[in-house]
Structure 1
Amino acid sequence: MGWKTLDDMDLNGKRVLVRVDINVPVVDGVVTDATRIERIVPTVRDILNAGGKPILLAHFGRPGGERRENLSLKQLIPTLETAFEADVLFAADCVGSEAELAAQALQSGQVLLLENTRFHAGETKNDADLAAGMARLGDVYCNDAFSAAHRAHSSTEAIARLLPAFAGRLMQAELEALEGALGAPKRPVTAVVGGAKVSTKLDLLGNLIEKVDYLVIGGGMANTFLVAKGIGVGKSLAEREMKDTASEIMKKADSTGCKIILPTDIVVAEKFEANAPSQVLPADQCPENSMILDAGPDSVAAISDIFSQSKTLIWNGPLGAFEMEPFDTATNAAAMKAAALTRSGQLISVAGGGDTVAALNASGAAHDFSYISTAGGAFLEWMEGKTLPGVAALEQ
């Protein structure tokens, strides 16, 4: 890859502007989930250990270019200090004289947190002057916010062109995992794509059928493909108006050699609620008064067999209504199979997307996957084959 990492830089005595994602949930001024903060700790600690002085750039919420005290990053300082085991100083702006004085006064072993970049309207417009103001605070630039890399903002894109730039540990891990999964993967490659709507994942499906050997489709999306094959799905969630598009995708998959895997048996219920009475039926026998809420055991067995034949797995989206028992069964079983294969060294498994992370955590399989991305939109756009501005800027 054409980007540098922390290992390529001499940081001793240098002020390191680090773009991070610490957009964490806060209730009454208290951080309720510090996961995003914990994930940037390796980068901050490595910079400190290398003699560098980390200066954190971050957004928080959507203040719309206005200063809003409830969206100040200052409230994160206690959690940051606990995570870093270091003093965290604060500047009430991310540009200007106060920020410059704070950056100049920063001592070895300390971390400086700059105020919310989105208090400036220019941030989301990738304003060059705002980026130049930020760049004056540091000697080098580190992007450790892959989750914000799909946005061309002043603190993610423009600034990377003004200073020597490199990827932080989290960004590096994310890029290496995704490059291994889609860029130069070990084959056969299988992708699992679930979720409610085909319409939201057209670019994703179009890219994957050119790059993977097997494409497992689950959730409400699978129902739309069943409709395209002339199969009745009763009251199931399905985008019936998308059936021609689904047919085109299947036709294109045939031409690329990608095998699309749809459920051969289904779990149906008359009500969309937890523990509703359900039954397993062949995929083409959904009653008119019922809805498909999960893939059946034969489908899971087929998916598990495909996983066993595969060397690389990319997963985005659940196979059924995983939020409700017993309609989480297929997702959980397939996830545990992937986890076991990963644990034994037979499979490289990369997963991402909000519902995906929640589903894999609920199944207990997440900690055995090779890599779980929490990046959401950036992960999806990478899977869609799109150029991410924040990554492209590092490659200059």
Structure 2
Amino acid sequence: MAKKTLRDIELKDKKVLVRVDFNVPLDKEGNITDDTRIVAALPTIEYVIKAGGKAILFSHLGRIKTEADKATNSMRPVAKRLGELINKDVIFVGQTRGKELEDAINALKPGDVLMFENTRFEDLEGKKESGNDPELGKYWASLGDVFINDAFGTAHRAHASNVGISSNIKEAVAGLLLEKEINFIGGALENPERPFVAILGGAKVSDKIEVITNLLKVADKVLIGGGMAFTFLKALGYEVGKSLVELDKVDLAKELLEKANGKIELGFDVLTGKAFDANTEVNVRQFNEIPEDEMGLDIGPKTVERFKEILKDAKTVVWNGPQGVFEMDAFANGTKQVALALADLQGKAVTIVGGGDSAAAVAKFNLEDKFSHISTGGGASLEYLEGKVLPGIACVQDK
């Protein structure tokens, strides 16, 4: 998918609208507890500054349902943190439209950086931002000369701040982060080096049906662990005790197993407990011996070895979803071993982590620098893996 990027357009002296994904977690005092998303956008912001553009940044933050939500979801602390990271004053305007914002933008000099207020403040009077209100998209587009979309985290949504702006401006291109997501995830789906192995996990099959269906078309193997595995085990006729099962999806799991023609791997065993509790007694159970009063909470040692055996020769790996309840140390080993197996492929394979809980697990095990790419968008990466057209990518002009 060849999309125009910020390298393809002139930025010098231009007012450069940059949609970033600065939806960062804040504590009760309004302090940022994880600045990963801000750091991920720095290459694009620094590129604009060095090219002599006037950077106008905007993002959503949290959910805005009442006036009270505004106080706890302002972009002000984000602008402050960004200024610290780029060692430069970031002009903050606490508005999403109006004369104060327009005057501040018109006063910018080349290399200046301005951030305006949370785009979702516009959702209080009807969903103008998240509903892609035509008038709002047109207004925001009027504030700049060119548009860079660098917010992969919202690429699966058609909002005024991505699709709305792009349809009202002459040049709409991808930032360096969005380009990276397109190259890695899009590249894995369109032209992977083989063997291509997908690893899926998480709680529910229903969350990953379309991902599994799409990956079965392109992957050589699909490894399935986590809670969703038990619906497949039930489909194979195993009793799974108190394990999480979506009974209404058992027939679908059967269909997927038949369609997979041997591509789906579930392993051989699980770690179980009698309760969803960090202190529960842990047992290793083969698939055919899970007691009715126990639940599976992690993949077992034989399954770990099977998955590692498949992964050692892989050339492309996409991982989306933990293999067990990795938040509890007793049930973290399966996810950790998968992460370590992928870390061992550094330099030998393209390894992609699809955001969300998988990214959190990689961070927990301090392995972030061992992967080719860790996606910044959980929901967006999931829909990308489903093979869907993402509005935030489609709105960027083709080369």
What TM-score does the superposition give when structure 2 sets the normalisation length?
0.94
Amino acid at match of 1:184: N
User: Is 1:151 aligned with 2:150?
Assistant: no
Task: String of CA shifts for 1:136-161, please: whole Å, max 9, x gaps.
Answer: 11110001101011110011112112
Q: Which residue of 1 aligns with 2:44?
A: 43
Please tell me whether the aligned partners of residues 339 and 369 of structure 1 are also in contact (alpha carbons under 8 angstroms): yes
Task: String of CA shifts for 1:151-174, please: whole Å, max 9, x gaps.
Answer: 100111121122201111111111
Deviation (angstroms), 1:369: 1.0
Q: Aligned match of 1:293 in 297, 300, 323?
A: 297
Given the superposition, is the C-alpha separation of residues 328 and 114 from structure 1 closer, same or farther in structure 2, using an over 3 Å criterion?
same
Deviation (angstroms), 1:338: 1.1
User: For 1:271 and 1:97, how far apart are their aligned partners in 2?
Assistant: 59
Please tell me whether the aligned partners of residues 315 and 356 of structure 1 are also in contact (alpha carbons under 8 angstroms): yes
Return 288-297 or 68-77, whichever deviates more: 68-77
Given the superposition, is the C-alpha separation of residues 338 and 55 from structure 1 closer, same or farther in structure 2, using an over 3 Å criterion?
same
Please tell me whether the aligned partners of residues 203 and 384 of structure 1 are also in contact (alpha carbons under 8 angstroms): yes
Q: Which residue of 1 aligns with 2:3?
A: 3
Please tell me whether the aligned partners of residues 48 and 111 of structure 2 are also in contact (alpha carbons under 8 angstroms): no
Q: In structure 1, the residue corresponding to 2:228 is in which secondary structure? A: helix
Deviation (angstroms), 1:9: 1.6
Return 56-65 or 99-108, whichever deviates more: 56-65
Amino acid at match of 2:19: R
Deviation (angstroms), 1:350: 0.3
Instruction: Give the unaligned 5+ runs of structure 2.
Output: none
Q: Aligned match of 2:258 in 239, 242, 251?
A: 251
User: Is 1:268 aligned with 2:272?
Assistant: yes
- Equivalences for 1:1-396 in 2 at 5 Å? 1-27=1-27, 28-64=29-65, 68-121=70-123, 122-163=128-169, 164-254=171-261, 259-341=263-345, 343=346, 345-395=347-397
Please tell me whether the aligned partners of residues 21 and 36 of structure 1 are also in contact (alpha carbons under 8 angstroms): yes
Amino acid at match of 1:102: A
User: For 1:142 and 1:231, how far apart are their aligned partners in 2?
Assistant: 51
Please tell me whether the aligned partners of residues 99 and 137 of structure 1 are also in contact (alpha carbons under 8 angstroms): no
Amino acid at match of 1:49: K
Deviation (angstroms), 1:361: 1.9
Amino acid at match of 1:377: G
User: For 1:295 and 1:212, how far apart are their aligned partners in 2?
Assistant: 21
Task: String of CA shifts for 1:172-193, please: whole Å, max 9, x gaps.
Answer: 1111111222121111111111
Please tell me whether the aligned partners of residues 75 and 117 of structure 2 are also in contact (alpha carbons under 8 angstroms): yes
Deviation (angstroms), 1:275: 4.4
Q: How many residues align?
A: 391
Please tell me whether the aligned partners of residues 267 and 307 of structure 2 are also in contact (alpha carbons under 8 angstroms): no
Amino acid at match of 2:343: A
Given the superposition, is the C-alpha separation of residues 190 and 68 from structure 1 closer, same or farther in structure 2, using an over 3 Å criterion?
same
User: For 1:365 and 1:191, how far apart are their aligned partners in 2?
Assistant: 19
What is the root-mean-square deviation in Å for CA atoms of aligned residues?
1.6
Instruction: Give the unaligned 5+ runs of structure 1.
Output: none
Return 27-36 or 178-187, whichever deviates more: 27-36
Given the superposition, is the C-alpha separation of residues 52 and 65 from structure 1 closer, same or farther in structure 2, using an over 3 Å criterion?
farther
Amino acid at match of 1:172: E
Please tell me whether the aligned partners of residues 12 and 110 of structure 2 are also in contact (alpha carbons under 8 angstroms): no
Given the superposition, is the C-alpha separation of residues 198 and 50 from structure 1 closer, same or farther in structure 2, using an over 3 Å criterion?
same
Identity %: 44
Q: In structure 1, the residue corresponding to 2:336 is in which secondary structure? A: helix
Task: String of CA shifts for 1:4-42, please: whole Å, max 9, x gaps.
Answer: 112112111111000011111223132222221111111
Deviation (angstroms), 1:240: 2.5
Deviation (angstroms), 1:65: 8.3
User: For 2:77 and 2:369, how far apart are their aligned partners in 1?
Assistant: 30
User: For 1:62 and 1:287, how far apart are their aligned partners in 2?
Assistant: 43
User: For 1:29 and 1:190, how far apart are their aligned partners in 2?
Assistant: 41
Please tell me whether the aligned partners of residues 53 and 110 of structure 1 are also in contact (alpha carbons under 8 angstroms): yes
